[in-house]
């Protein structure tokens, strides 16, 4: 399930495929999940534009186009971008391409871009030049960019469990269930701790742990629990480094006590009752 590291790995692998290339054709599957801004607009506006940059903010990818518009993609839970060989560029066949939602074909040689999304939680939309984008504008600072003082300021008055706030994209963009649990473990904080009761020192430790976990996960090519595959078709390897996520009942690597699992903020949270307080 793509969180910040998986989206960043996707960005790095797709950038060489799409940069400086001009879109000539756009194919959309029947279940292309677009925001209400409109599917027709998306399909009409892309051809003729060149992709000049691929940026990431939180879990969103933005393909910046030559007229300053952008194609924005959120991978949702099961979304995946793949370089699509030219030989496959003959339309979307419902039988074999059941989960294929969008294809961009480019001028010249080289593969196209394909967006697969079995569970349809992903989103694709087009943002015009200088047009404000609600979805992107309401995101908080990226988790790899936010400063310690800003992070502390954003959580200090809050009553909710810290775990839920880490998942709140308006507060901090990019963190999902896996890395929230892992960061809290390394910071020694229980997921249910009231955010406002965390000292500034512990808040710093949490952000440091979060950054470290995210960077190491990027270096490992992301985490593959069940779904995630990189654009190159390989799995990530950070699942081998997970300390608590998905380890309910198994012994803590640090103290040997069984890892607890509890629902917090409508999500499963995993933690060690001895190592985290």
Site residues, DNA (CB under 7 A): 1, 3, 31, 58-60, 74, 76-78, 98-99, 118-121, 135, 138, 158-161, 164-165, 167, 169, 176-178, 226, 265-268
What distance in Å separates the CA atoms of residue 237 and residue 220, rounded to the nearest whole number? 5
Query: Could you tell me where the DSSP H helices lie in 103-169?
Result: 134-137, 148-155, 162-166
Q: Could you say which of 3, 8, 105, 182 is catalytic?
A: 3
Nearer Cβ to DNA (146/161): 161
Nearer Cβ to DNA (20/170): 170
Q: Report the Cα 188 to chain-centroid distance in Å.
A: 25
- Shortest distance in whole angstroms from residue 163 CB to DNA: 10
Q: Give the dihedral sign, CA 223/228/229/234.
A: positive
Catalytic, 3? Answer yes
Catalytic, 154? Answer no
Q: Could you say which of 158, 212, 261, 267 is catalytic?
A: 267
What distance in Å separates the CA atoms of residue 134 and residue 214, rounded to the nearest whole number? 26
Catalytic, 267? Answer yes
- Shortest distance in whole angstroms from residue 152 CB to DNA: 14
Question: Which residue pairs from 165-170 have beta carbons closer than 8 angstroms and sit at least 24 positions apart in sequence?
Answer: 165/195, 166/210, 167/265, 167/267, 168/140, 169/58, 169/59, 169/139, 169/140, 170/138, 170/139, 170/140
Nearer Cβ to DNA (138/257): 138
Q: Give the up-direction half-sphere exposure of residue 188: CA atoms within 13 A in the CB hemisphere.
A: 9
- Shortest distance in whole angstroms from residue 113 CB to DNA: 20
Nearer Cβ to DNA (69/169): 169
Q: Could you say which of 45, 59, 190, 193 is catalytic?
A: 59
Catalytic, 59? Answer yes
- Shortest distance in whole angstroms from residue 184 CB to DNA: 14
Number of H helices, E strands in the chain: 7, 10
- Shortest distance in whole angstroms from residue 52 CB to DNA: 24
Active-site annotation, residues: 2-3, 59, 267
């Amino acid at each position: 399930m793509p969180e910040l590291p998986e989206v960043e790995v996707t960005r790095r692998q797709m950038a060489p495929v799409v940069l400086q290339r001009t879109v000539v054709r756009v194919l959309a599957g029947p279940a292309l999940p677009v925001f209400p801004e409109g599917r027709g607009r998306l399909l009409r506006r892309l051809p003729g534009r060149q992709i000049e940059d691929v940026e990431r903010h939180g879990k969103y990818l933005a393909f910046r186009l030559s007229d300053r518009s952008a194609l924005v993609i959120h991978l949702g839970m099961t979304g995946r971008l793949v370089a699509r060989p030219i030989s496959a560029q003959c339309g979307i066949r419902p039988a074999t391409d059941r989960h294929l939602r969008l294809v961009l074909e480019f001028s010249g040689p080289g593969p196209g871009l394909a967006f697969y999304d079995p569970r349809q939680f992903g989103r694709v939309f087009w943002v015009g030049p200088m047009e404000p984008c609600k979805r992107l504008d309401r995101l908080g600072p990226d988790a790899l960019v936010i400063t310690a003082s800003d992070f502390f300021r954003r959580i200090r008055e809050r009553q909710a469990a810290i775990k839920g706030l880490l998942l709140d994209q308006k507060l901090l963009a990019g963190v999902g269930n896996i890395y929230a649990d892992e960061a809290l473990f390394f910071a020694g904080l229980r997921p249910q701790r009231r955010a406002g009761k965390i000292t500034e020192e512990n808040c710093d430790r949490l952000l440091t742990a979060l950054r470290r976990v995210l960077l190491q996960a990027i270096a490992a090519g992301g985490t593959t629990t069940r779904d995630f595959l990189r654009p190159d078709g390989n799995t990530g390897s950070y699942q081998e480094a997970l300390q608590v996520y998905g380890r309910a009942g198994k012994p803590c690597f640090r103290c040997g006590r069984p890892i607890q699992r509890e629902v917090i903020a409508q999500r499963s949270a995993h933690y060690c009752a001895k190592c985290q307080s």
